[in-house]
Structures are given as C-alpha cells and as structure tokens.
Amino acid sequence: MSARTRKFFSYYKPYLPLFIADVACAFVVAAISLALPLLAGRLTQGVLAADAPDALAQVYTIGVLMVALVAVQTLANTFVDAHGHRMGALIESDMREELFAHYQALSFRFYDEQKTGALMARLTHDLFAISELAHHGPEEAIIALLKFVGAFVILLTINIPLTLVVFIFLPIMAFYAVYFNARVRVALRRSSERISEVNAQVEESLSGIRVVKSFASEAVERKKFAEANRRFVQSRWDEYRSDAYFYGGMNAFTQLLTLAVIVFGGIAIVDATLTPAELVTYLLFAGILIDPIQKFMNLSRLYQEGSTGFNRFRDMMAIMPEIEDAPHAVDLPVVRGDIAFDRVSFAYRDDGAQVLKDISLDIRAGETVAFVGMSGVGKTTLLSLIPRFYEVNSGAIRIDGRDIRDVTLRSLRGSIGIVQQEVYLFAGTVAENIRYGRGDAAMDEIIAAAKRANAHDFIMALPHGYETDIGQRGVKLSGGQKQRLSIARVFLKDPPILIFDEATSALDNESERAIQESLEALALNRTTLIIAHRLSTVRSVGRIVVLHDGGIVEQGTHTELLSRGGAYARLYDIGLEV
C-alpha cells in the first residue's frame, strides 16, 4: 500500500464506528441481493408444483420471507445512502479544514504565483470528488465483489455449460469497459484542470468588476469567460461521449447475454438438463452478475475522479510553507522597538534579479523613519521582510538584537501593526472589522480606536453606526472611509512597531491632515516606519531613507537631504507621487 493510499484511509479513523456500520450494511445489501433470486427460484418451483399438498403454503412462506428481506435491505440501503454520505461529507470537511489551514500557512511568495479561483477549486470541486470516493468506494467495492463472486458460484452450481457461455461475454465486456474508462479518465483530468481555469476567470472578473465597468469592458470579460467555458464544455463533452459509448455498449452486452441465456437455457430445457425454475433463477442471477461489472466501472470512474482530486490535494499539502517557525523559535519578549538590517539582500525568485542589495540600516526604538523612492524601488518589499512576509536571501533582520528568524511568527507579527497599501475589509459590520485588530476587544475600546483614527464621526453617520454592514470588501464605504477603518484596527492592536505602507494614499487632503495628526500621536514612543506616497507627508519625520536601485543612497531629515542636492532633492523637484 502506497503512502498516499495509507494517508487516504487515515481520514476514516475518526469515523471508524460509522465506517464499520456502513460496511456491515453493504454486506447485508449484497447478501440479500443474492438470497432473493434463490428464494424466487424456490417460489417458482412451488408454483410449478402446484399439485403438491404444501405448495401453496410454501409459496406464502417464501413470499413473506422475501418481503421481510426486502424491508431489511431497504433499511440497510437507507443507512448506506444517508450515513455513508454523512461520513463522506465529514471526511471532506476535515480535508477542507486541513487545506484551508495550509493555505493560511503559505507565504506571500506562493500567492504571488497562484490564482485564487484555482485555489478555490481545490477546496470545492476536488474535495467533493474525494468525498464521493470516500463514501461510495468501500461500500460499492464490497457489494460488487460479493455479488459477482456469489452470483458466479451459484450460476456454476445451476448449470456449468450455460455458465461457460456467460463467461465468454465477461472478458469482452471487461476489455470494452477498460478501454472507454481510460478515455473517461483523460477527459476527467482535463475537466478538473479546466474548471479551475473557469473559477479563476470568474474570481478575477468579479473581483475587478469596478475596473471592468469603468472601462466598459464587459464584452471583453464575456469573451474571455466564454473561451474558458468553451474549453471546459469541450472536456465535458469528451467525458460524456465516452460515458455514452460505455453505457450504451454495456447495455448492449447485457441484452445479448440475456438473450444467450434464454436461447441456450431453452436448449438445455429441451435436453432436460435444466428445469424452467432453474432457468428463472439463472436469468435473475445473470442480471445480478452484470450489475457488479457496471458497479466496478462506476467505481473505476469514482476512483479516477477521487484519486485525481486526492493527488491534487496532497500535491498542494506537500508544498512546504517557505516561512515557518524554526525548531528553536521562542516568543519575542516585550519589544522595545530597535530594528537592525544587517547586509540584507532579497530577490522574489532564487534565480531572479535582486530587488534589495546589501541593505544595512539601524532604527532606534521610538524613532519614526520614512522610506521614499520611485515606484518599484523596493520600499514595500523592504518593510515586508520585517514581519517575515518574505524571507531574506542573505543577511539578517534583528528586533532588539534578536534575529527575527529565531522567534515565533505569532509573537513577531503580534508586535507589528500594519496599514497596507491595498486596504482589505471583510464582509460584516464596522465593529467586526475594527475588532479584527484584537479579537477580545470590548466595544468601548473599538470606539476609542475609531476616534483616534478620526473614523468615529463618519461611523456614527452610517445607518446603524458600528453595527452597519459594510458589504463584501467594504464596498459600501468610500476609499477614505475604508482606509480609516484599517488604521483604526492598528490603533486597537496598539503594537510597539508600526508600518504604514502608503497609509494615507486614499484620503482627501482634509482627511489626510486629520489622519496625520492621529498617526503622529500614535507614533509617540513607538517605532514607526512610513512608506511615503507624497514627500509632503514626511517633511517633519525625524529621518528619511532614500532607496534607489535596490539600495540606500542617502538618509537624513527633509532639510538635510534637500541641502545636499542629491537623489531626494531630485525627487522633491519632480514632485514625487509614487
């Protein structure tokens, strides 16, 4: 048994009693399926022997017994369908939680190269296929195997020559089924890939719906979606066509086998080697023999879909988080806020060009430092290295003299507050979004944080104040309002180190002045790092660091840098807006 197979069956462990009950009911279903034709044969014998004294009583007895067995079989089938599906859904749920937790652990570099829609397909389409295999796989395999072996043995006991005629059909049917099953397998794999493409296209288009509408590009998006959808439909058509050939052929073989049994059975009756009652029983068991073959083929399809989904699931789980706690990592103690970059270099790809080159910089606890430079120079990247959103390629970053790779991610990131360039708010209320800064915050603390971010007044003007639902990604708020809520989250978190990445870029001049006052108050006695969108916002900052071509070219106060006439002065002269 391969490692992946063992891993698959390990998901049954929490539900072992349910699994055992499901398998037991599958045994009952298969056993009764074999018992009913035998009883039907006995009943037929009783009917044909109607002149026997106890024939009618025997018919009644067998009839009652058959009804009782059908009732038991119905109950067993109901359990298999209901609780078996429940078990599959629980296993699917466990895998989904495991995969979602794994997504949370992966680094920014991973998401830089992935499409959200494709990742969602792993959580939905792939795991549903696994669920179907987890539920139907064991029970259908048991039912099919027992029915096939049992029916074949019983057919041999009834009439060996006639069974040999039946056996001639089986290899032909198996070869036919395997051939078209292989075609279905290829189509299924292609279909899984293309539904991921469709999901990715939908996610991208709907996420950017405002950009789409602003450029009147609905027709372009429809065309792109239609092409992805057409490719998916083509793969499904290949699958359905192979399915049609498979089921059509199997039905034809079934009919031919039944006709062969009737013809050769009739000959056997004429030759007195088979009785009419035995022929009835034989026909019933011949039908049972065909059913497992079809079940095996259905199971093969389930296996292909489920194994493809499970392989994609395991492939994703095999992607190790690029950034995780070291074995010896400890919690970061109470942070003063000293930050040191020691010859730090970074590239997004191991074989790519370096974005940052040999950066060395010391920042004192409580100091406010602004980082400026043209767009793409590496300002955001540099500060993203501090909370370890990306890992340095060489060099080290230290907080209070401790290498950040030697402390736990949770304690490191818990000591840093970030207002990012792209504001992201979650669906829910205003209060819920601010509370994201600290999950146990009381309402009065939320309100205090909103006031410090100059957000309280506009919040109270909303229909339901702090309980107003802001919609998906905060679509019911303006850009400035969303930015102020994101700043309020950081006020609530109240960390010793602050990073503001274009923190006021979405605000009008009046709002920006109000936020600047709040940021200055928050920055007192905290290490504050600012990525400047406009040089006018950092004139009063104690130190300005100028980045160019992946390195630090100069640093100092606004006045000092202007007087030098260097890179900063040139940026100031052109009115930096990056």
pLDDT at site 47: 64
pTM for this entry: 0.74
pLDDT at site 282: 79
pLDDT at site 555: 92
Q: In terms of DSSP bridges, do strands 543-548 and 416-419 run parallel, antiparallel, or are they unpaired?
A: unpaired
Q: In terms of DSSP bridges, do strands 368-372 and 543-548 run parallel, antiparallel, or are they unpaired?
A: parallel
pLDDT at site 577: 47
The label of the residue with tokens 């017994």 reads 65
Domain positions in the chain are 3-317, 339-573
CA-based nearest residue to 221, from 235, 236, 207: 207
* Contact by Cβ (8 Å): 99, 317: yes
The label of the residue with tokens 């990525």 reads 531
Per-residue pLDDT tens digits for 71-126 = 999 999 899 888 888 898 899 899 999 999 898 888 888 887 787 777 887 888 78
The gap between the terminal CA atoms of the chain, to the nearest Å, is 58
Per-residue pLDDT tens digits for 529-556 = 988 877 777 788 889 999 988 899 999 9
339-573 architecture in CATH? 3-Layer(aba) Sandwich (3.40)
With H, G, I as helix, E, B as strand and everything else as coil, classify residue 332: coil
pLDDT at site 576: 53
CA-based nearest residue to 412, from 324, 488, 501, 346: 324
pLDDT at site 385: 93
pLDDT at site 405: 93
Separation between Cα atoms, residue 373 and residue 556, nearest integer Å: 14
Q: What are the C-alpha distances in Å from 397 to residues 100, 139, 178, 316, 371?
A: 30, 56, 59, 30, 17
Q: What are the C-alpha distances in Å from 562 to residues 532, 555, 557, 569, 573?
A: 16, 11, 9, 5, 10
Separation between Cα atoms, residue 1 and residue 219, nearest integer Å: 52
Sheet containing strand 527-531, strands side by side: 416-419, 497-501, 527-531, 368-372, 543-548, 551-556
* Contact by Cβ (8 Å): 108, 389: yes
pLDDT at site 266: 83
Separation between Cα atoms, residue 372 and residue 558, nearest integer Å: 11
Class of domain 3-317: mainly alpha
**Angle at alpha carbon of residue 66, lines to 60 and 68, rounded to 5°:** 105
* Contact by Cβ (8 Å): 453, 494: no
Token couple for 96: 């989904």
Collect the ranges in the chain with pLDDT lower than 50: 577-578
